[in-house]
Amino acid sequence: MPEPTLRFIESNGIRMRIAEMGEGPLVLLLHGWPESWYSWRHQLSALAEAGYHAVAPDLRGYGKTEKPEAVEEYDIVHLTGDAVGILDALGEKTATVVGHDWGAIVAWNCVLLHPERFNALIAMSVPYGGRPKESMLTTWKRQFGDNFFYILYFQEPGVAEAEFDADPRGILSRLYLSPDSPREKAEVSDPKRSAGGWIGRLGAPKELPDWLKAEDLDYYVGEFTEAGFRGGINFYRNFHRNWEITPQLADASVEQPVLFIAGSKDVVIRGANAEQLTGMMGRATKDLRGVKLIDDIGHWVQQESPAETNAAMIEFLKSLK
């Protein structure tokens, strides 16, 4: 399989590394946490073969892309600005934006905040039903109280990145699994935050899933060993700020065509079926063209089920005028 070209560009005041393949209309692929451009390795070649210019950056704070120090430089204005800056650096007026996990949150906001630059959206794993009435951070604090919840854990300055930086393979190998992957018994079972961090709450894998080769895990571990986890965790530290700085989105709708893709067993969608997801996203979209749930697949949908994911993406892209 041909390899993507890796190079650096200047975008929105920072130096970003991008992986790219192919020629044609631009498709911008935004990864999630804790990931990398490499999460799109199966999509880059498929999109190139289908006649598209596929570009997957290391997002701000990840991999070889720059990592600003200030937490507020990871807010949604900066993140969507980075995406627009990539289009500018490539000399493109518009692109279809694709996002998985945190990349999906950025992608939803790209089409809302910069509608003139993004002609369509493919969101994976994270649906969008409109701006909530209160900050999600407020909701989660009320919901979880003293119990451990990883997003609240990530709000503690310096704590989560210290845990993960000390054992990148420990956290990544526990997260990059399928829903049915066999695990060892978790070391921490007490639900209280005071009982410990996150790695000990996740049972160690007994084996890698069939979609993740040892060399794939090694690549991710190498990237996070070098870059650290703080940049990606700073995305989470802006949940409340993002809500505060986007009051204009209170009644906004996505006008562009949208496709949603997820594994049916993705924990993010909490067991919702296609009809329920369609209803939820229908509140905030005017042209939702499909909800594709891939049976028995978990959170890492484009890596766990690349053939089905690629087919759905390309069918949607070909439908765009």
Hey, is 15 helix, strand or coil?
strand
| Residue ending a domain, choose from 201, 235, 269 | 235
Last residue of a domain, one of 235, 263, 280: 235
Residue 308 has pLDDT above 90, yes or no: yes
**pLDDT, the chain, mean:** 98
For residue 112, what is the domain's CATH number? 3.40.50.1820
Q: Which of 53, 78, 100, 299 is catalytic?
A: 299
Check whether residue 180 and residue 69 sit in a common domain.
no
Q: pLDDT of 165-217, one tens digit each? A: 999 999 999 999 999 999 999 999 999 999 999 999 999 999 999 999 999 99
**296 tagged catalytic:** no
Active site (annotated) includes residue 101: yes
Same domain, 242 and 224: no
Residue type, 171: I
Res. 1 pLDDT band, cuts 50 70 90: low
Task: Give me the amino acid identity at 265.
Answer: K
> 17 and 95: one domain?
yes
Instruction: Provide the CA 154 distance to its chain's centre, in angstroms.
Output: 16
Do residue 254 and residue 182 come from a single domain?
Answer: no
Number of domains in the chain: 2
* Rounded CA separation 233/74 (Å): 9
| Strands (DSSP E) found in 31-177 | 53-57, 95-100, 118-124
- Same-domain status, 124 and 141: no
Q: Are residues 153 and 185 in the same domain?
A: yes
Tell whether 120 and 176 lie within a shared domain. no
Residues 33 and 117 occupy one common structural domain: yes
Let me know whether 40 and 171 are in one domain.
no
Q: Say what percent of the chain tops pLDDT 90.
A: 99
| pLDDT (0 to 100) of residue 39 | 98
pLDDT tens per residue across span 238-288: 999 999 999 999 999 999 999 999 999 999 999 999 999 999 999 999 999
Query: Do 149 and 14 have their domain in common?
Result: no
Residue 62 to residue 30: CA distance in whole angstroms: 12
Q: Are residues 128 and 156 in the same domain?
A: no
Residue 116 and residue 13 in one domain? yes
Catalytic residue among 75, 82, 101, 266: 101
Supply the pLDDT for residue 177: 98
Domain assignment of residue 175, given as a range: 136-235
The answer on pLDDT for 289 being more than 70 is yes
Compute the distance between CA of residue 93 and CA of residue 105 in angstroms, rounded to an integer: 22
End position of a domain, from candidates 176, 207, 235: 235
